[in-house]
Chains A and B, each alone.
Chain A
Amino acid sequence: MGVAIVTPDLESAPRRPGRVRTNLLPYALIGPSVAIIAGILAFPLGMLVWLSLQRYGLRELIAHAGEWVGAANYQRIVVDPLFHQVIVRSLLFTLACVGLTVILSTLIALLLLKVSQAVRVIVMSALVFVWTTPVIVSVDIWQWMFDYEFGVINYLLTQLHVGNFIHHNWFDNPIQGWSVFVVIVVWGAIPFVTITLFAGLLQVPSDVIDAAHVDGAGAWQRFWFVTAPMLKPIFLIVTCLSTIWDFGVFTQIYVMLNARPSADYYTIAIYAYRESFGVTQYGMGAAIAVVLVLVLVVVTFFYVRETVKVAEIA
């Protein structure tokens, strides 16, 4: 955050020799962080790109020497119909998850403003519990709930006369199966987004809302024209973060489908993993992963821009 403030200052400052020397200090301070980030992020990313330009199968892995093929891996995924399906599916899935997460979280955050202190503590605790449950553990429980033979969901729906759900298979039909995954992912994402939005809502000055009320604005208008614009930076940040997380979903689907998801349930991350470790085409898997990274870089751009803006205002 400090850097964001210092940088524009540097640009506008007249460049006198004396100042350049003192201005090395910020760089020296940030140097170690940059070095560590380069080591743990830039280096593996560089390796990934390098790998994606090679034919790298099991033989090459054992011999520690790949065969340079240039952009051939990329050319192949561009014409791969399965890859197109996977991209479209991942995008739709992300859209559904992010949309539902933000809408539901906003509603819960607004509700939290209205309820009593005791209810607020209970809801917050529940949210934190969800947040702290390890993904593998929660997916195991979800798997049991949606089980074909012994699942409590099938039992409940049948008992409630919603229909005959005995031996109903939720993953027969990919649309139903993906709906289940939307539920699981949104359930896991709501706590962070809700708590962040709630913190934001507490910062909205009540006199502004009151003034709008006096002017005759209804509840929806007060939210849409007063609260929402004030929360816009926070909305943007949680949307960007959710997009990054949901686009790269792997664990929930992989664990739920016993580590053998059919092609109908591939996300980009699962597809890259299958190509690398299933079909032992590490170069191809790396190329798919690079595409995933590129898509996320676009989203990250908006996130970083908004973070910098917020920092400048602060």
Chain B
Amino acid sequence: MKSRKAPLSVIGILMALVAAACGGTTSSNNPSTQTGTLTVWLMNGSAPQSVVDGVNADFKAKYPNVTVNVELQQWGDIGTKLDTAFAGSTPPDVVELGNTLVAKYAAAGALGDISGKKSSFDNSGTWLQSLTDSCTVSGKLYCVPYYAGSRAIIYRKDFFAAANVQPPDSMDGLLTVGQKLMAAHSSDPNFSALYYPGKYWYAALPFVWDFGGDIATQSGGKWQGSLNSPNAQQGLTKLNSLVAALSRADKTGDEAKQDAAFAQGHIAMIIANGWEVGVITDPKAGDPSLKDKLGAFPIPSHTAGQTAPVFLGGSDLGVAAKSKHQDLANEWVATFTNNKHMTEMATVGGVIPNNTSMLSLGTGINAVFYSAAKNSKFVPNSQNWASVENANVLPDMLVKIFTKQQAIPDATSSASGRITALLNGGG
């Protein structure tokens, strides 16, 4: 017994020493002696390469012996990829997470708790509330807000002028304007006044919220799906009538191709993010000649003169709980989101910055999207929300409604039942 115990305790002491040594280097005040490799996962298209290069150059200047590998990930299969990466022993040190996904990973213990470090990040006092909320689980902070995106309606100014219509200020006005555009283009069988692919659930939420409905409500720790409430149904009824009258988009398709479709010239309006202007006018994927013909206006409310609340999308940056370089990883995130680089994200990247102090950076067409962010809402902040997304509950419901497979009361009540079950942790 004795002989077996001795080496074990020696190993224990050695491990403690190694741990102490590791802790020592990372918290030391001499960054130039730190070594290691940081792996960063960013989503494809989230930050311009020039911004990432600038961040890495600044980081290298401070930590010359640390290598940073930025790997770009695709949105399509990111959920599966993240699950697998976090389950492994060497996950990426820094990950960009869509703001609706954070709660799931934070609650499962995948992300490090950075509550104590909040003040070390620039602008943490004025972070966008909705993004901060998405990073907060059970009162603890698990990520740093990265950028936001909100939707408005992008329209063709030349089509509006030719049909002699102005951007509407109410949902009924949107229908009237759309019908005039449809009439003006009646000879084009491919024309859509408002192009709305059936599975586009982000764009359906403003209609639900504007009439006072919501996806789900929480009381006493239990979630209750509420898309079948009379208010939510009213909003979806309004959306359904707009889609039926104004859209020739695929009722079972998603919004992935809407910018390419818009660039082909048979569409007057789409509900889109600010950065999609860049995709529409891209020389390869789109049509650069549309640059001066594009305008934007907020999604109007059913109450004339007001705007509908929009979904505040965006991304956050988290550090993996299993990362062996927690401090370096947080340092990199702090560099990425500091004043200098966040300003570049807004001016070069065209996204909404992570804090309210920089909202004045939005100019021209971008200003519309920036101001839309001020009247924004979020999906239920639950660790199980990602399951609702991955089970396609909302897209399926919309497709059933638009294709008339189900009436709105039936489609919404079955979706609500599914949402209730999923948010409360069932299947």
Interface residues of A (CB under 8 A from B): 57-59, 61-64, 76, 80, 148-149, 166-167, 169, 171-173, 258-260, 262-263, 274-275, 277-281, 284
Contact = CB atoms under 8 A, between A and B. Distances in A.
Nearest to B322: A62
Contact of A58 (B77, B83, B392): B83
B30 interface: no
A80 B427 contact: yes
A75 to B, nearest CB: 12
Contacts of A167: 189-190, 248
A225 B395 CA distance: 53
Nearest to A64: B87
Contacts of A57: 108
B199 interface: yes
Contacts of B422: 279
Contacts of B199: 260
9 contacts: A169-B250, A171-B252, A173-B405, A259-B76, A262-B396, A263-B392, A278-B79, A279-B422, A281-B427
A172 B190 CA distance: 18
Given A172-B403, A263-B396, A61 B254 contact: no
B108 A58 contact: yes
A148 B253 contact: yes
Given A148-B250, A274-B390, A278-B390, A62 B86 contact: yes
A167 B188 CA distance: 13
Contacts of B227: none
A231 B95 CA distance: 59
- Of all A-B residue pairs in the complex, the 8 with the closest CB atoms, nearest first, are A278-B390, A58-B108, A59-B108, A148-B250, A279-B387, A262-B396, A61-B87, A277-B80
Contacts of A76: 427
B107 A59 contact: yes
Interface string B185-211: 000011000000001000000000000
A277 B386 CA distance: 11
Interface string B336-357: 0000000000000000000000
B370 interface: no
Contacts of A259: 76-77
A167 B105 CA distance: 41
Interface of B: 76-77, 79-80, 83, 86-87, 104-105, 107-110, 189-190, 199, 248, 250-254, 256, 261, 386-387, 390-392, 395-396, 399, 403, 405, 422, 427
Contacts of B189: 166-167
Contact of B427 (A61, A260, A284): A284
A76 B427 CA distance: 9
Contact of A278 (B76, B190, B250, B387): B387
B250 A149 contact: yes
A275 B426 CA distance: 11
A59 B104 CA distance: 9
Nearest to A261: B392
Given A58-B108, A58-B110, A280 B387 contact: yes
Contacts of B403: 169, 172-173
Contacts of B395: 260, 262
Given A169-B252, A284-B427, A279 B390 contact: yes
A274 B387 CA distance: 10
Contacts of B190: 149, 167
Contacts of B80: 277
Given A58-B83, A169-B251, A278 B391 contact: yes
Given A173-B405, A274-B391, A275-B427, 7 more contacts: A57-B108, A62-B109, A260-B395, A262-B399, A263-B396, A277-B390, A280-B387
A159 to B, nearest CB: 14
A271 to B, nearest CB: 11
Given A278-B391, A279-B427, A58 B104 contact: yes
Given A62-B108, A149-B190, A262 B83 contact: no
B392 A262 contact: yes
A23 to B, nearest CB: 47
A9 to B, nearest CB: 50
Contacts of B76: 259
Contacts of A274: 390-391
B254 A260 contact: yes
A149 B251 CA distance: 11
Contacts of A149: 190, 250, 261
A169 B197 CA distance: 12
A284 B425 CA distance: 13
